[in-house]
Amino acid sequence: MSIPLREFGKTGVKISALGLGGHHLGGAKDEKTAIEIVHRALDGGITFYDNAWEYYRGKTESWLGLGLKGRRDKAFITRNQVWTVMNDNNPKIGPEISRRGFLKGAAIAGVSAVIPAEKIPTAVETSNESALGGFQAQKRPLGRTGLECSILGMGGFHLGTVADQAEVNNMVAKAIGHGINIFDNAWEFHWGLSEEKLGIALKGKRENVIVMSAVRTHGPNQDVAMRMLDASLTRLQTDHPGVWQIHEVIYHNDPELIYARDSVLEALTRAKQQGKVRFVGFNGHKHPAINLEMLNRGYAFDVIQMPLNPLDPGFRSFENNVLPIANQRGIAVLGMKSMGGSGEIISKGAFTPSEALSYAMSLPVATTISGIDSMGVLDQNLAILRDFRPLSTDQMQALREHGKQFNDGRYELYKSTLKYDSDLGRGRHGYPSAAELPL
C-alpha cells in the first residue's frame, strides 16, 4: 500500500494524505501497542503525526517519540514543527518552547488580563434601589419608524415563567407606570403562554405601548407564518402588534430559507400591507455573520434584535460587526441578553447588574430588552434605569477591557452552544433535538 503525498500548504514540505492523530494514540491500551501502531503507520507510508502538549498529560508524546525512534526522518511531527491555536486571542507558541516555559508564559498572560475591581467605573453603581420614586424612563426613536420607545424593554420569555397572573399584571403595570412602553414576545415562548399572560396584563393599558411578537417558521409557505400571526394576535388580545419579527435566525442556511419564494419574508410584507402589523424585523443570537447576511440580502427591515453586553466585543461580536451597519441604515436596534441570557454574567461575578445594563443602554440602540421574572428583578432594573446616565467613552472601554478575561464565550453560551436554541426551531430545520444529540 502506498499513501499519496500532498503539498503542505506553502511550506515546501510534502506530507501523506492520511495522518495519525495523537489523542487517540494516547488511548491505546499500553505503550507496546502504541509503538506498534506507529510502526505500522510508518510502514504504510504515513508521514504526518499530530500531537499536543496536553494529550494524556504528555503520555501520547512519549509513546509517539518511542515509536518514531530511529525513523524520525520519515515523519513530520506537529509537536516539534507546527503549532495551531484554537482561540485567535491566544499567543502563538514557538517551536522551541519548553513545558516549563509554556506554563510560566500562560500564568503571566492570565494575570495581566485581569483589571482590578477598583478600576471599574463607580458611576454605574445605583443607590437606594428600593426608593424608586416617580421617575419616567428615558425615550429614544425606534429607528425610522416615527415611534419612540423606552430605553429599557421587558422580555416575554422570562415573563412567561411567572406562575401567578396577578404578579404578571402587577409587574407590567409597574413597568408602564415608570414609562416602559415596549414589550417583547414570541409565538413559541412557553407554547403561547407568554403571549397570553402579557395580553391579559396589558388589558386597558395599550395606549402608547409597543407590543412585539415573533414568528417561528423560516421555510416555505407564508400561510404558516400568517396563521402564527393570527394566533399571536388572539393571545395578545390586540388587532395588531407594533413589531413582528422573524424569531431565532441562528442557522447559516436561515437567510437562504427566509429569502426564498413564498417564505416568511413574504408573510412580513403581506402582514404590513394588510395592516396586521406596523413594523417588521428579525432577531438572532448565534453569529454576527448570519445577521449581516440577512441585512445584506436587501430586505427593508425596520428593526433588528441582537445580543449586546460588555463581553460581546471580545467574542463573535455583534457590537463590532452588526450594530454599525444597522445604525447606518436607520434600522432600529433592540439589544438583548445584556446579562448573558439567564444572568450568567452576573451570577458568575463578571459584572454587576448595573454595569451590564448600563453598558447595554449606553450603546447606540433604541432599547435594551431585559428578561424580568420577578418583582425584585423589575425593581433592580428600574433603579438602574432611574439613575442611568450614558457612560463615557473611557467607562465603556474600561468595562470592555475588564471583560477580555472572559473572551472565550463562557458566559455567552447562546453563541456557541444549543442552550438557547429551541427544539422547535431545530425540528423545523430537520435537525435532532438537543436531547437526541450524541453528547
Residue 90 has what DSSP assignment? S
Q: Both 107 and 128 in a single domain?
A: no
pLDDT of 301 higher than 60: yes
Q: Please check whether residue 400 is in contact with residue 314, taking contact to mean a CB–CB distance below 8 angstroms.
A: yes
Q: What is the pLDDT of residue 139?
A: 98
Which residues are within 8 A (CB) of 25 and not within 5 positions of it... i.e. 6 or more apart? Answer: 34, 37, 38, 51, 60, 63, 64
Q: Both 185 and 203 in a single domain?
A: yes
Q: What is the pLDDT of residue 285?
A: 97
Domain assignment of residue 350, yes or no: yes
Grid cell of 358 as nine digits:
448600563
Alpha carbon distances (Å) from 121 to 32, 312, 323, 395 = 60, 19, 24, 6
Q: Please check whether residue 3 is in contact with residue 45, taking contact to mean a CB–CB distance below 8 angstroms.
A: yes
Furthest-apart CA atoms within the chain: distance in Å: 85
The number of beta carbons lying within 10 Å of the beta carbon of residue 433 is 13
Domain assignment of residue 199, yes or no: yes
Domain membership of residue 278 as a residue range:
122-429
Angle, in degrees to the nearest 10, between helices 353-362 and 393-403? 120
Q: Please check whether residue 2 is in contact with residue 28, taking contact to mean a CB–CB distance below 8 angstroms.
A: no
Q: Both 242 and 135 in a single domain?
A: yes
Last residue of a domain, which of 70, 92, 112? 112
Q: Both 164 and 104 in a single domain?
A: no
Q: Both 108 and 138 in a single domain?
A: no
3-state SS of 233-277 is: HHHHCCCCCCEEEECCCCCCCHHHHHCCCCEHHHHHHHHHHCCCC
Which residues are within 8 A (CB) of 240 and not within 5 positions of it... i.e. 6 or more apart? Answer: 233, 275, 276, 277, 278
Q: What is the pLDDT of residue 120?
A: 39
Q: Both 320 and 230 in a single domain?
A: yes
Domain assignment of residue 435, yes or no: no
Whichever domain contains 53, its CATH number is 3.20.20.100
Closest CA to 88 of 307, 350, 399, 315: 315
pLDDT of 50 higher than 90: no
Q: What is the pLDDT of residue 326?
A: 98
d(CA 182, CA 149): 6
Grid cell of 304 as nine digits:
433588528
Q: What is the pLDDT of residue 90?
A: 36
Closest CA to 368 of 124, 91, 218, 180: 180
Q: Both 105 and 129 in a single domain?
A: no
Helices (H) and strands (E) in the chain, counts: 20, 15
Domain assignment of residue 362, yes or no: yes
Q: What is the pLDDT of residue 186?
A: 96
Closest CA to 384 of 418, 348, 357: 357
SS3 state at 26: coil
pLDDT of 199 higher than 90: yes
Kindly report, residue by residue over 150-178, the tens digit of the pLDDT. Answer: 999 999 999 999 999 999 999 999 999 99
Residue percentage of the chain with pLDDT more than 70: 87
Q: What is the pLDDT of residue 1?
A: 61
Domains contained in the chain, number: 2
Last residue of a domain, which of 93, 112, 131? 112
Q: Both 69 and 137 in a single domain?
A: no
Q: How confident is the model at residue 420 (pLDDT cuts 50, 70, 90)?
A: confident
Q: Strands 14-16 and 5-7: what pairing?
A: antiparallel
Q: Both 107 and 253 in a single domain?
A: no
Residue 74 has what DSSP assignment? G
Kindly report, residue by residue over 182-193, the tens digit of the pLDDT. Answer: 999 999 999 999
H-assigned helices in 304-373: 318-321, 323-328, 344-347, 353-362
Domain assignment of residue 383, yes or no: yes
Domain assignment of residue 434, yes or no: no
Domain assignment of residue 439, yes or no: no
Domain assignment of residue 217, yes or no: yes
Last residue of a domain, which of 70, 90, 112? 112
Q: Both 156 and 298 in a single domain?
A: yes
Q: What is the pLDDT of residue 47?
A: 86
Q: Which of 57-61, 293-297, 351-355 has the lowest mean pLDDT?
A: 57-61
Q: Both 88 and 127 in a single domain?
A: no
Q: Both 273 and 372 in a single domain?
A: yes
d(CA 115, CA 113): 7
